């Protein structure tokens, strides 16, 4: 049911302006949603590729680590020589108003922190593979976080677009129809009223004109007949 508003030309102009803005808002929301969906689909495909690379690199790394354990004994004590990564840089890029993270890991030369005289090439290979896995994990974290942010934004955008399409736009369309119909009905009533007034006025003027004409003719008739005047004198 349309929201009842007073049917005036001013309210009609406001309703039409609001309707136009609502339609423009829906078009913007729809365009934003499509862009975000395309971006998420592209990132999802990229995520699958990175995950596959991580799995392959992990397999190589664990295979090399297993060989190092066999040839060197337990190498768990060497993990204390692996430095923590503190050089991550996080920035953001905007896609239709949605802030997506960009994680940068400086590409530094690989320098083992353990005594290479006490190890062998199997451990070196495992170290290199796990370092590559670290880089891929950073990339995957960036992608997964971006996908999550896009999914949340798409849901909100879809909700707003649906509200505009199913509630706001029909509301203003109903208001425009109601006010337009009311104004047209008033114009028809006013036209009919003016027509009746005009017709009545014409009839009165015609009757008055005929009355005056009759008086004029009567006076002229009296002046043109002397016998009438003679009878009056007698």
CB contact set of 153 (below 8 Å; sequence gap of 6+): 36, 96, 97, 98
Name the residue with tokens 């039409």. Answer: 16
- Tell me the C-alpha distance between 130 and 168, whole Å: 55
CATH topology of domain 9-178: Helix Hairpins (1.10.287)
Give me 90's structure tokens: 């996080």
Domain residue spans in the chain? Answer: 9-178
**If the chain, 234 residues long, is cut into consecutive pieces of 10 residues, what is the mean pLDDT of each piece?**
74 92 94 96 95 90 84 69 75 93 82 66 81 89 95 95 95 92 83 79 79 74 55 43
pLDDT digits (tens, 9 = 90+) for 169-185: 999 999 999 999 888 88
**Reported pTM:** 0.70
Contact, 131 vs 113, CB < 8 A? no
Q: Are residues 154 and 8 in contact, defined by beta-carbon separation less than 8 angstroms?
A: no
pLDDT tens digits along 58-91? 888 888 888 888 887 766 666 666 667 777 889 9
Torsion of CA 101, 107, 113, 119, to 10 degrees: 110
């Amino acid at each position: 049911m349309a929201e009842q508003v007073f049917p005036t030309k001013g309210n009609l102009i406001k309703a039409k302006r609001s309707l136009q803005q609502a339609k423009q808002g829906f078009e913007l929301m729809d365009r934003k949603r499509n862009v975000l969906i395309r971006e998420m689909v592209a990132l999802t495909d990229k995520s699958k590729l990175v995950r596959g690379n991580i799995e392959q690199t992990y397999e190589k790394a664990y295979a090399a680590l297993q060989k190092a354990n066999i040839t060197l004994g337990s190498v768990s004590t060497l993990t204390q020589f692996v430095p923590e990564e503190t050089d991550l840089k996080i920035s953001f890029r905007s896609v239709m108003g949605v802030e997506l993270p960009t994680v940068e890991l400086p590409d530094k030369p690989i320098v083992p922190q353990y005594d290479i005289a006490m190890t062998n090439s199997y451990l070196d290979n495992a170290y290199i593979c796990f370092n590559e896995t670290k880089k891929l994990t950073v990339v995957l974290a960036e992608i997964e976080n971006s996908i999550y942010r896009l999914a949340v934004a798409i849901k909100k955008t879809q909700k707003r677009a649906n509200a505009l399409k199913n509630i706001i736009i029909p509301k203003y369309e109903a208001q425009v129809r109601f006010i337009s119909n009311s104004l047209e009905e008033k114009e028809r009533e006013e036209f009919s009223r003016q027509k009746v007034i005009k017709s009545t006025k014409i009839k009165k003027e015609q009757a008055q004109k005929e009355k005056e004409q009759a008086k004029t003719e009567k006076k002229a008739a009296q002046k043109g007949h002397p016998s009438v005047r003679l009878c009056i004198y007698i």
